[in-house]
Every structure is written in structure tokens, then in C-alpha cells.
A and B are shown apart, each in its own frame.
Chain A
């Protein structure tokens, strides 16, 4: 079993839709949770960072962490064609040298 599981998609939605992206994990030591966006042939770009459980909102993006269920989510409201990319969840534990464990990534396509 992988430490982090993420549905690879692809996920195709119409412009303006609400998108829900999810990851589950098995390591209860994870405390730091991130969502990265990666456009084709580019490096990952940090979207959201959350420490421990809770919600965080930034513009059209909301990140949720439920440590009791070992489940994290990213919601994108009013999705735009420019949101078309691969979304990677990533997480790390304390005292592990900052090693990020990534999900496989979900490929999102927002159609105009």
C-alpha cells in the first residue's frame, strides 16, 4: 500500500464547476499538508499549505485536512480553463528532513 493515495483521473469539468480533489494517507505522523499545481513540463507550484487538521481558504481554493480520517481535500470554486493542470498532494512528518511524500497527482481539465 502506498503511503499516499490519490486518484490519478483524468478529471474533466465544465468551466465554472466546483472541483473536489482528494488524497488519503496511512502515516499518522504526517503533520504538514500541501497541494501543488503542476503544468505540463513545469515544476510544481505551491497552492496551499496546512499544518495539522483544519481548513484554509485562499481565493477560489479551499484546503481541508481531517487527520482523524487521514484524508485531505482541495476544492476549487468557479473553475477556469487556466486551472487545467495536474494537482499533487504532498505531506511530511516532523524530523524526517523535510521529505515530501507525494500523491500520484490528479490531472484536471476545465473545458470552456
Chain B
């Protein structure tokens, strides 16, 4: 089945220790998104890639970066995680960036000790 896969599902890191979250997709979609969802809150867009074009939300902290080495994979790098970065990180994909349906992966739950 075509799908969005996130690894790992659970990640524990120490305060200030860099961490990388992974997303892959078999849908061959052009757009990949990263959302942050804190407990009992709505998902919030961090950034997205339309093909190789990177688009950063204005309020996304500099501590967060992303890479998309090819169509199928996208990575979220958190350079120096703080306690406030503990959250569920959701990857989503869509065919195009104008109103097309977004399909979400299962998420990676990040804990910062």
C-alpha cells in the first residue's frame, strides 16, 4: 500500500543533543510537510518542500532544519533540542501545494530529557 512512513516512532534525546527524524513516502507526491503537534494542541506547520524548493514558516525557530535529498525522503533536524521541543512531529505529503489532500504519517513522538 502507498503510504507515508516515519522513523523512529518514538525518539528520546537529551537536552541540547542533536536529533534527526525521518520521513519517507511511496505516494510519489511532490510536496512534503513537517508539522509539530504539542499535547492537546493543533498541528502547526514548520516547513514544506515543493520538489526541491524549501519553504520555511516565518515563526519556525532556527533550531529546526530540514533536508529533502530525493522525492521519497525528507528529514527534520533539531540542532539543539530544548524541553519545549518535546512534541509529536508529523510528516505529510500531497501532490501539489494548492488545496490538494494531505496524507499524514503516524508521527514521531519526541521526548527531551
Residues of A within 8 A of B (CB): 4, 8, 31-32, 34, 36, 41-46, 49, 51, 88, 92, 94-100, 102-105
Q: Is the CB of A34 within 8 A of B42?
A: no
In chain B, positions 11-57 with a C-beta closer than 8 Å to chain A are 31, 33, 35, 40-45, 48, 50, 55, 57
Q: Which of A44, A49, A103, A104 contacts B90 (CB 8 A)?
A: A44
A8-B40, A103-B42, A104-B41 given as contacts; is B98 within 8 A of A98 (CB)?
yes
Q: Is the CB of B104 within 8 A of A51?
A: no
Q: Is the CB of B43 within 8 A of A46?
A: no
Q: Please count the residue pairs between chain A and chain B whose beta carbons lie under 8 angstroms apart in the complex.
A: 66
The size of the chain B interface, using a CB distance under 8 A, is 31
27 A-B residue pairings within 8 Å (CB atoms): A8-B40, A41-B109, A42-B106, A43-B4, A43-B6, A43-B106, A43-B107, A46-B101, A46-B102, A46-B103, A46-B104, A51-B99, A94-B98, A95-B98, A97-B48, A97-B97, A98-B33, A98-B99, A99-B48, A99-B57, A100-B102, A102-B43, A102-B44, A104-B40, A104-B41, A104-B42, A105-B42
